[in-house]
Amino acid sequence: MSSNYGLEKVWLWGVSLIERLISWLGLPYIFAYTIEKIIFGVALLVFIAVSVLYLIWLERKVSAHMQSRMGPMHVGGWRGWAQTIADMVKLLFKEDIIPSKADKWVHRIAPIVVFVPSLMAFLVIPFEKNLIVQDLNIGILLIFAFSSIAVLAIIMGGWSSNNKYTLLGGIRSAAQMVSYEIPLVLSILSIVMVVGSLKLNDMVAAQSGDGKFWFVFTQPLAFILYLVAGTAEVNRVPFDIPEAESEIVSGYNTEYSGLKYGFYMLSEFTNMLIISMVAATVFLGGWSAPAWLSFLPGVVVLLIKTYFIVFILMWFRWTFPRLRVDRLMDFGWKILIPLAFLNIFIIGLRMVVFKW
């Protein structure tokens, strides 16, 4: 296995420093543990906020160049890099409107409920071998469990706004996410069969080293299924029917404004980041790089792979038109799920017959 550790050394040094300090003070270990996790959590939050701002800018740039435009060019000087920061500041200053007929508490809570699960999914993603909040042995299961809570928040937002468009968006989102969760998990199942573990670090280990290939090459069908189902899971074009602008205004977040709308936006892009990061970890080898690239820190390798997947998702968005609701269901149940089962069958046969 290639040993490309960069940030990990710094982190482990910091952890040992904190633990020594706590034991010198004579406090129990739980204090050191809590402080470590809080520091990691804050660092993660900063990372998410910065990369979401950057992703929105990137999305606008990619879309512009695919349409022979230039995108934001003015704010901040170099190619409008500060445009999304300006947009965020504008969102902070906007009035926070709650509709008078709305279910106020649910309306207030929904943006938090939508953001927390997408943050929690970062819990088990290994940025480097030991640079991870908690290496749980049910890692991938936890990610999918948390990502399905987001449906609840979207329905909460849609229902509590007391508006027919938001309700339609919420219900559409529920139907879509429930049916696309199945192919998403089934496509990962074939990987789990081969690896024999739900731990994400084990999946990385199974792809790095001599004579081992990335799962995108050994199981291409699973990768394609994951990418398609993942696109549907984060409600992006061509599966953006919950927030179809031309049909139901803006879907479940129509009645939200200001910071609450910002939270919906944030969680949307965070979900995209998670889907890409899981794809990079499970199918593209995660933080491990080939031997000739081992001078790069693992975090950088993971981020390069993640942003490659993000680019593919953006490429989808600016190429394909939106699906009709019934065709979306058809596609999910009649094509993706049978193909996922076929994939599991093929991989199972390969494991039994070829022992590979």
Partner 1 sequence: MVNYFVKIFKGTWSLIKGMGVTLKYYFTKPVTVQYPYERREVAPVWRGTLRQLCDDKSVEICDGCQICAKICPVQCITMEVYKDPIDNKRKTSSYTVDFGRCMFCGLCVESCPKKCLVHTTDYEFVSYDRAGMVLGKDKLVRK
Q: Contact positions toward partner 1, by CB under 8 A? A: 62, 64-70, 73, 315-316, 318-320, 335, 339
- Would you say 209 or 220 has its CB closer to partner 1? 220
- Would you say 72 or 285 has its CB closer to partner 1? 72
Shortest Å distance, C-beta 343 to partner 1 = 13
Residues 6 or more apart whose Cβ sits within 8 Å of residue 312: 227
Given its phi and psi angles, is residue 155 left (phi above 0), alpha (psi -120 to 50 degrees) or beta? alpha
- Would you say 64 or 120 has its CB closer to partner 1? 64
Shortest Å distance, C-beta 5 to partner 1 = 35
Shortest Å distance, C-beta 342 to partner 1 = 10
- Would you say 221 or 249 has its CB closer to partner 1? 221
Shortest Å distance, C-beta 225 to partner 1 = 12
Shortest Å distance, C-beta 64 to partner 1 = 7
> In degrees, to the nearest 5, what angle opens at C-alpha 232 toward C-alphas 85 and 104?
60
- Would you say 54 or 318 has its CB closer to partner 1? 318
> Residue by residue, what is the 3-state secondary structure of 23-86?
HHHCCCHHHHHHHHHHHHHHHHHHHHHHHHHHHHHHHHHHHHHHCCCCCCCCCCCHHHCCHHHH
- Would you say 69 or 94 has its CB closer to partner 1? 69
Q: Report DSSP letters for 232-272, one per residue.
A: HHTT-TTS-GGG-HHHHTTGGGTT--HHHHHHHHHHHHHHH
> In degrees, to the nearest 5, what angle opens at C-alpha 124 toward C-alphas 121 and 127?
110
- Would you say 97 or 342 has its CB closer to partner 1? 342
Shortest Å distance, C-beta 228 to partner 1 = 10
Shortest Å distance, C-beta 62 to partner 1 = 7
Asked if the peptide bond before residue 99 counts as cis, ω within 30 degrees of 0, the response is no
8 Å CB contact between 151 and 114: no
8 Å CB contact between 255 and 99: yes
Residue type, 100: S
Q: Scanning the structure block, which residue is given the tokens 């190429």?
A: 319
- Would you say 81 or 318 has its CB closer to partner 1? 318
b/e for 94-107, b at 16 or more Cβ within 10 A? eeeebbeebbeebb
Nearest Cα residue to 114 out of 146, 153, 88, 58: 153
Residue type, 273: L
8 Å CB contact between 314 and 62: yes
The span from the CA of 343 to the CA of 17, in Å, is 48
Shortest Å distance, C-beta 6 to partner 1 = 31
Shortest Å distance, C-beta 68 to partner 1 = 5
